[in-house]
Chains A and B, each alone.
Chain A
């Protein structure tokens, strides 16, 4: 796990670097907002821990720039001020969490761990149900055979596999899988359910999508 630390107090930076490195993170230390952005131009990080009060460019401004660049790396803000407004400003600017100084190192480590876990936890690459494994990155479903899936087939099967044995209405599926697509109507759900049914059969899956056209569908073990 690679971590970017932006903290202008030299002693604190050194202490945090030591503790985080000891906990298995590869740490790059920046001492102001400008330097933090320079590090981000060079490398990818799993998490950014950033102080708000820094010279040259403060943490809020740096955070805004990071988000403007389309970078959604989790950010934990460190703030000396306990004012509500400051925390709200930070969260509004795109921070994922904050920690008020002074803080216990134990708590910092726990929050960093939780944030990195949450990030990868939201989108597991492999989902399993019954005999079927779905690899969302390779867009591939595997049971006895494996077969490639189109992007929307992958999203649809992922939605089913995250909600097995639950009734999902055509409307709910449409809103979830095709939420940003205004060029199609809910008819597309039936077509893609049909595609997935054939593909599940072709890999000899022991699960099926039950349900009628335009109604509710349930992914269940046969």
Chain B
């Protein structure tokens, strides 16, 4: 249970906004599946950041743990990770999200085209959503931030393994392990690219 109350009176809005965005993405996926037999994404994970984590993050970033800082200075109270089968599907989902008139992209980073030095690949977006709710600035309709990560199944499985390694920093041969993890990331990226190409070749007939 959350004992900290960093979201204040806006707390319930966050879940409603998250549900609404997820509903949209899911219904798009269903429609696409009915039309083509393919899914636009394989699965997605959605969460409102727990108030403890958010309060802790505020402090870590040098902010007072207040609703204003949690919802205006920081942008990841609402988080969605969309996991796709193919690389092109990631970009299709990005295009879709951008097409919504009530969603404004604030920051986007393509770590698929520009992989991080450790091999991490993913597409990151920070978006601002227009909502019927009052926001932390007192505006109604109000605007809320959300962070969206889009990646393939292969990128996702790599990221979750790499995440586990982060907690074990003092293992022996850590340099070698980092280098080998990067090699794995490159090999998985190679599979992603190859499977995308095969799908394209099949489509072209």
Contacts and interface: CB of A to CB of B under 8 A. Distances in A.
A198 B114 contact: no
A198 B200 CA distance: 11
Q: Contact residue range for chain A?
A: 10 to 19
- For chain B, give the interface size range: 10 to 19
B186 interface: yes
Contact of A148 (B112, B115, B187, B197): B187
Contact of B114 (A145, A150, A191): A145
A148 B190 contact: yes
Q: Is the interface of B mostly helix, strand, loop or mixed?
A: helix
Interface in A109-167: 140, 144-150
B106 interface: no
A147 B189 CA distance: 7
Q: Is the interface of A mostly helix, strand, loop or mixed?
A: mixed
Interface in B102-135: 112-115
A194 B197 contact: yes
B193 A202 contact: yes
B87 to A, nearest CB: 8
Given A148-B186, A148-B190, A198-B196, A191 B113 contact: no
Nearest to B116: A145
Interface string A191-215: 1001101110010100000000000
A149 B190 contact: yes
A199 B201 CA distance: 15
Nearest to B114: A144
B174 interface: no
A140 B193 contact: no
Nearest to A204: B113
B194 interface: yes
Contacts of B194: 150, 195, 198
B183 interface: yes
A181 B193 CA distance: 25
Contact of B189 (A144, A191, A195, A202): A202
Most buried by A among B182, B189, B200, B201: B189
A149 B190 CA distance: 7
A147 B193 contact: yes
Contact of B186 (A147, A191, A195): A147
Interface of B: 87, 112-115, 182-183, 186-187, 189-190, 193-194, 196-197, 200-201
